[in-house]
Amino acid sequence: MRYRDKSGSAFFSELRHEVDRYFAVTANGNRFATPGLWCKAALLGMVVAGSYAALIAGPADIFAAMFFYTVFAIGCLLLTLNLAHDAAHDALTRHRRLNRAIHYAVFSTLGVDARLWQMRHVHSHHLYPNINGCDADIDHNPLIRLSPNHPWKRMFRFQHFYAPLVYLSVAFHSILIQDMVYIFKRRLANLTDIRHGAGDYAMFALTKLAFFFAVIALPIALAPLPWWQMLLAYLVSSMAMSILFVFALIGTHFSDSSIFPTVASDGTIAGSFVDNTFATSLDWNPTSPWAIHLIGGLNAHIAHHLYPRVSHMHYRAISQIVLRLTQKHGIAYHRTNLRGMIATHFRLLHKLGQDPEATRSGEFQLPAKPKSDTAIAL
């Protein structure tokens, strides 16, 4: 698969110039983590370690167990979004081995295989976001229709009502089902002839066993509470982490302003990579330092897709440049706030569920000017 337009637009040429100047003048040429990121990672690490120590020490009752498990789970998620995600893109530090070590270590706290996730995220989703048959993140889902290019079922008419219940199981599904399916796949979206070495299978098994022992079995064995209360506390924390993850990110690609392109018979995709990035992505509060720090810059999704090998600590500055230049060049830049991002996702679910023919797929061109209903002022 390839994009038809490979020539650089005037907008992107100016964007690269402005971003290069930012790194040269403001960031001292450093595209990697800033001291602030390492401080944030240390703070999150202390939260994770402290809450886990409280679980091992033995919570006094089921409500304390739920609290400490939830703090631990959300702390691990935030540490993954802020530290491991940058490391997966080699954007955390210039040392690739250190990036890999941090990426694997932090992902293991979630019970998710780091290598499989990186394979899908970096080598599939980032190359072809929202493109049918090319982006592993929009594989056909039997419970929820997330793309107009997926088949329609009568049950999808109610998906905007039952979707939150499905989203509660995202963490559980990732650990026990998704990884188990992907480790045996030989083809996934644009990825073909997938092969894993003996060491990869060993790391996969070790990650799962270590997670279940350290996060579930050991706290249950040491706790003064009945085993079922501790297990219930873990399940509550898993659901809390799942809903936080989904509601912070789901609308960044699955929104009613997003395009879902298809590949032509000759293997080409309309427009350019930059065109597709703007047409398939939605930012929420992309220049907010609080939002950037909370979820590792993934609210600034345009900046992340255009500059994935840059630490998220620079995304606020890049998003400010993007905002200014899109206004100058008349490029549609879809952005909103957190509430608006969640709302636009559920509007998409409703649209795709009610109308089997509802589609924004196929050929596309960016609008000449931003639409007022999708380019919401911050």
Residues 117 and 66 in one domain: yes
Q: Which residues of the chain are modeled with pLDDT < 70?
A: 7-8, 357-378
CA atoms of 334 and 362, how far apart (whole Å): 19
Determine, yes or no, domain membership for 243: no
Residues 193 and 334 in one domain: no
pTM for the whole thing? 0.91
CA atoms of 42 and 228, how far apart (whole Å): 33
Q: Which tokens hold the place of 134? A: 């090319």
Residues 217 and 333 in one domain: no
Residues 60 and 123 in one domain: yes
Asked if residue 322 lies in contact with residue 303, where contact means CB atoms within 8 angstroms, the answer is yes
CB atoms within 10 A of CB 362: 14
Nearest to 31, CA basis, from 95, 100, 92, 121: 92
CA distances from 155 to 8, 145, 246, 273 (A): 44, 10, 21, 34
Q: Which domain holds residue 318?
A: 2-31+252-354
Residues 205 and 282 in one domain: no
In the chain, the number of structural domains is: 2
Asked if residue 250 lies in contact with residue 345, where contact means CB atoms within 8 angstroms, the answer is yes
Residues 12 and 71 in one domain: no
Q: What is the pLDDT of residues 37-77, one digit of tens each?
A: 999 999 999 999 999 999 999 999 999 999 999 999 999 99
**What letter represents residue 358's amino acid?**
A
Nearest to 116, CA basis, from 66, 179, 40: 179
Residues 55 and 161 in one domain: yes
Q: What is the pLDDT of residues 283-297, one digit of tens each?
A: 999 999 999 999 999
CA atoms of 162 and 160, how far apart (whole Å): 6
